[in-house]
C-alpha cells in the first residue's frame, strides 16, 4: 500500500540544463482541506544550471534532510547562486536555513511581500534578497533569461511565477497543481488527473477566483510548453485543457449572483486553514467567496467586498488577549459600512485563550447582526474533524444566505415534463461513508442505478452541496444501504443535520469490511469503492464498484421514492 512506502526524492532532467527534484510523501502530509483525499503529495523543486545556477521552490521542513542529501549528491551547492521562492511560509524556514548553512552565498529571489515574509520567517534582516516586482529579469546565461510574474491572492499574497524562455517552462508554484503522489513525473494520460486537479482547484483556488482570472490573463501571452507545478505531475500533455478548465472553473465562481465576504488574519496558519475549509463549503453551495487576508488588504478592498456581500464571515487568532490590528480595522469597516440585516459568522484559532472570537461576536451582536452559525473556536491546530465541521458550516451558511436573499425560484405548478420525470421511480437508499478514522457521514439517496454487470457497479447522484460529497472521490469507500418499506430509517435520514452532528445517533449500525457503517435495519447493503465521478449540473454522478454485499431481510420489500415532479424545491 502507498502508506507503507517511505518518503523519498525523485530526480529527473526535464529540459535544457533543468532538473526536477521531487520530494515525495505517499501518505497524507498535512491537516488542510486540500490534502483531504489522502493520496499523498509531491513537493516539486527545480534546478537550473546556466552560467549561474538557480534553485526554485525548495520544500518544507518535512523533507529537509532527504532533500538536501539528494541535492548534495548531484549538485555543487557551494556554487548555487539563487534560490527562487514562489511563496514564503514558515514551513520552509528549516529547509532554507539548512541551505544557508552549506551555501551562505545564496541570494533569495521573491516578490516584495515575499521579502517581508522571508525576513520574518528566517528571523533575520541580514539576508541577500533580490525583489522581483514584475518587469525585472534574471539572466542565468545560456539563454535562461528568467522572467517573473506576480500572481498574488489572499492566501498567498506573495505568489510569484517564474518563466524560462529557453525551456518554455512556466514555474507556477501553487497554480495548476494537485496533491497526489506517484511514479509519473509528467501527466501522460492527463485525463486520469482531472478529478484531483478539480478538487485542488475547488479547495485552494475557488475562493480566489477573481485573482486566478487576473493571473491567467497575465500568463496568457507566454509561449509555454509545460507548467512546472509545485505539487503533482508536471503539466505537459494536458496543458491546454487544464488552462481552459481553470478559466471555466474561475468563471463559474465569479459569475455567481451571491457573494460572501470571508475576512481573516492568521498568526501561525491555523486560522487560514479554517478559512479555507469554510470557503470550500460555501462554494460547494453555489455561492461565491470574496476571500480577503486582512493583513495584506487595503481598507478600500475590504469595504468594497463587504458592501456587495450578502453574508460576512470573519476569522481571527488571539494575540495577547486581543484580535490583531488588521482584524480590528476590518471589524470597524464592517460596523460602519455594512447593513446589519446581513448574516454573519465568526471563527478563529488560539493557543491559550480565545478572547478575540468573543470580542468580534459581541461587537457584531451589539450592532444587530444575526448569526448563521455558532462561533467556531479551535485550540491549536485543526484536525480532520474540525475541517469537516468547517466545511459543513460553510455550506449551511451559504444556504442560509441564499434563503435570506430569496433567490430560490417561487414554486410553480410542475410542467408536464417535470411531472413525467417525477414518475421515474428509484429505490430508496442510504449512502454511508467513513474516512480518516473519525469522520463519518450519510445521505438519503433515491437517484441510484445499476451501471455495469462486469464488474458489478452502480451510480449515485450526489448534490454538490451535500456534506458527504467530499468523501466520495475515487478510491473512497461507501456502503449503499437499501431500505425496506417503512418510515423509521427514512424519517431519520430525511432530517437536516447540523454541521458536525452524528448522523448515526440512535440508529443501529455495525461496521462493514471496508470500514463504513451498515444500517442493520436495512433490507440489504452493498460495500463499494468509488471508481470515478462525472460533473453533471448541480450534481456529481459517482460511479462505484461493488465489492461485497448481503441481503439482511429476505422477506422485506424495497422502499421506493415516488416524486410528484422532476423538479427540486
- Condensed to tens digits (0 to 9), the pLDDT of residues 295-319 reads 999 999 999 999 999 999 999 999 9
In 281-423, the DSSP E strands lie at 288-293, 311-315, 343-350, 370-371, 376-379
Alpha helices, H only, 112-263: 112-122, 194-200, 209-219, 239-254
pLDDT at residue number 567: 60
DSSP 508: -
pLDDT at residue number 569: 39
Alpha helices, H only, 157-259: 194-200, 209-219, 239-254
**Residue 222 burial by CB count (10 A; 0-12/13-18/19+): exposed, middle or buried?**
middle
Altogether, the residues listed in the chain come to a count of: 569
Q: How far is CA 168 from the centre of its chain?
A: 28
Q: Give the pairing type, strands 41-49 and 448-452.
A: unpaired
Question: Rg of the chain over CA atoms, in angstroms?
Answer: 25
Q: How far apart are CA 210 and CA 390, in angstroms?
A: 23
In the sheet with 41-49, reading across from the earlier edge strand, the strands are 8-15, 18-25, 41-49, 53-56, 82-84, 107-110, 129-131
pLDDT at residue number 564: 64
**537-542: long-range contacts, CB 8 A cutoff, minimum separation 24:** 538/286, 538/463, 538/464, 539/447, 539/461, 539/462, 539/463, 539/464, 540/461, 540/462, 540/464, 540/469, 540/472, 541/459, 541/460, 541/461, 541/462, 542/459, 542/460, 542/461, 542/462, 542/472
pLDDT at residue number 424: 47
Q: How far apart are CA 320 and CA 355, in angstroms?
A: 9
Closest alpha carbon to 263 in 215, 287, 298: 298
DSSP 204: I
pLDDT at residue number 405: 77
Find out whether 293 and 322 touch, Cβ atoms under 8 Å. no
Find out whether 364 and 332 touch, Cβ atoms under 8 Å. no
Please state the pTM of the whole predicted model: 0.88
Query: What does the block give as the cell for 331?
Result: 471589524
Query: What does the block give as the cell for 71?
Result: 541535492
In sequence order, what are the beta bridge partners of 548? 527
Closest alpha carbon to 86 in 147, 212, 171, 201: 171
pLDDT at residue number 81: 98
143 backbone φψ class: left, alpha, beta (φ>0; ψ -120 to 50): left
Find out whether 380 and 349 touch, Cβ atoms under 8 Å. yes
Closest alpha carbon to 276 in 373, 386, 350, 435: 386
**Cis status, amide bond into 377, omega within 30 of 0:** no
Q: How far is the CA of 310 from the CAs of 167, 262, 305, 342, 538, in angstroms?
A: 46, 11, 10, 6, 21
pLDDT at residue number 178: 97
Q: How far is CA 541 from the centre of its chain?
A: 20
Q: How far is CA 465 from the centre of its chain?
A: 15
Find out whether 309 and 290 touch, Cβ atoms under 8 Å. yes
Q: Which residues of the chain have pLDDT under 50?
A: 1-2, 408-410, 421, 424, 569
pLDDT at residue number 270: 92
Residues with Cβ within 8 Å of 544's Cβ and at least 6 positions away in sequence, in order, are 457, 458, 459, 460, 478, 480, 528, 529, 530, 531
Q: How far is CA 15 from the centre of its chain?
A: 30
Closest alpha carbon to 489 in 427, 559, 389, 548: 559
Q: How far is the CA of 267 from the CAs of 61, 91, 296, 497, in angstroms?
A: 19, 13, 13, 32
Amino acid at each position: 500500500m502507498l502508506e507503507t512506502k517511505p518518503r523519498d526524492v525523485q530526480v529527473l532532467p526535464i529540459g535544457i540544463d533543468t532538473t526536477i527534484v521531487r520530494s515525495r510523501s505517499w501518505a497524507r502530509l498535512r491537516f488542510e482541506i486540500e490534502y483531504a483525499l489522502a493520496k499523498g503529495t509531491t513537493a516539486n523543486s527545480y534546478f537550473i544550471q546556466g552560467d549561474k545556477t538557480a534553485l526554485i521552490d525548495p520544500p518544507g521542513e518535512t523533507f529537509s534532510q532527504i532533500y538536501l542529501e539528494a541535492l548534495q549528491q548531484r549538485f555543487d551547492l557551494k556554487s548555487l547562486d539563487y534560490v527562487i521562492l514562489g511563496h514564503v511560509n514558515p514551513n520552509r524556514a528549516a529547509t532554507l536555513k539548512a541551505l544557508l548553512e552549506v551555501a551562505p552565498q545564496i541570494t533569495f529571489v521573491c516578490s516584495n511581500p515575499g521579502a517581508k515574509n522571508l525576513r520574518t520567517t528566517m528571523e533575520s534582516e541580514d539576508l541577500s534578497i533580490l525583489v522581483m516586482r514584475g518587469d525585472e529579469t534574471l539572466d542565468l546565461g545560456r539563454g535562461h533569461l528568467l522572467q517573473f510574474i506576480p500572481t498574488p491572492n489572499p492566501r498567498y499574497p506573495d505568489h510569484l511565477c517564474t518563466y524560462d524562455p529557453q525551456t518554455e517552462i512556466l514555474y507556477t508554484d501553487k497554480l495548476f497543481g494537485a496533491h497526489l503522489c506517484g511514479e509519473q513525473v509528467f501527466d501522460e494520460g492527463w485525463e486520469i488527473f482531472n478529478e484531483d486537479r478539480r478538487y485542488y482547484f475547488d479547495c485552494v483556488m475557488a475562493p480566489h477566483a477573481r485573482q486566478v482570472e487576473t493571473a491567467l490573463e497575465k500568463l496568457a501571452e507566454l509561449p509555454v510548453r509545460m507548467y512546472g507545478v509545485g505539487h503533482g505531475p508536471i503539466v505537459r500533455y494536458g496543458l491546454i485543457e487544464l488552462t481552459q478548465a481553470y478559466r471555466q472553473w474561475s468563471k463559474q465562481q465569479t459569475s455567481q449572483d451571491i457573494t460572501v465576504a470571508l475576512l481573516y488574519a492568521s498568526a501561525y496558519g491555523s486560522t487560514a486553514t479554517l478559512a479555507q475549509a469554510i470557503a470550500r463549503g460555501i462554494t460547494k453551495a453555489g455561492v461565491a467567496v470574496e476571500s480577503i487576508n486582512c493583513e495584506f488588504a487595503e481598507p478600500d478592498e475590504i469595504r468594497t467586498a463587504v458592501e456587495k456581500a450578502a453574508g460576512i464571515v470573519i476569522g481571527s487568532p488571539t494575540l495577547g488577549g486581543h484580535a490583531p490590528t488588521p482584524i480590528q480595522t476590518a471589524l470597524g469597516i464592517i460596523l460602519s459600512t455594512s447593513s446589519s440585516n446581513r448574516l454573519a459568522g465568526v471563527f478563529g484559532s488560539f493557543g491559550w485563550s480565545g478572547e478575540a472570537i468573543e470580542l468580534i461576536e459581541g461587537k457584531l451582536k451589539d450592532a444587530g447582526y444575526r448569526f448563521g452559525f455558532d462561533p467556531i473556536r479551535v485550540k491549536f491546530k485543526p484536525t480532520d474533524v474540525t475541517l469537516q465541521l468547517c466545511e459543513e458550516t460553510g455550506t449551511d451558511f451559504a444556504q442560509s444566505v441564499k434563503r435570506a436573499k430569496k433567490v430560490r425560484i417561487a414554486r410553480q405548478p410542475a410542467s408536464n415534463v417535470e411531472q413525467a420525470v417525477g414518475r421515474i421511480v428509484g429505490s430508496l437508499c442510504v449512502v454511508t461513508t467513513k474516512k480518516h478514522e473519525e469522520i463519518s457521514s450519510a445521505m438519503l439517496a433515491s437517484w441510484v442505478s445499476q451501471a455495469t454487470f462486469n464488474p458489478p457497479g452502480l451510480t449515485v447522484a450526489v448534490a454538490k452541496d451535500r456534506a458527504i460529497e467530499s468523501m466520495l472521490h475515487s478510491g473512497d469507500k461507501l456502503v449503499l444501504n437499501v431500505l425496506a418499506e417503512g418510515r423509521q430509517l427514512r424519517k431519520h435520514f430525511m432530517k437536516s443535520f447540523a454541521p458536525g452532528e452524528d448522523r448515526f445517533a440512535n440508529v443501529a449500525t455495525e461496521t462493514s469490511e471496508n470500514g463504513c457503517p451498515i444500517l442493520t435495519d436495512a433490507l440489504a447493503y452493498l460495500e463499494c469503492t468509488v471508481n470515478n465521478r462525472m460533473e453533471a449540473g448541480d450534481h456529481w454522478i459517482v460511479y462505484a464498484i461493488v465489492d461485497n454485499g448481503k441481503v439482511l431481510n429476505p422477506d422485506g420489500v424495497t422502499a421506493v421514492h415516488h416524486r410528484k415532479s422532476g423538479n427540486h424545491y
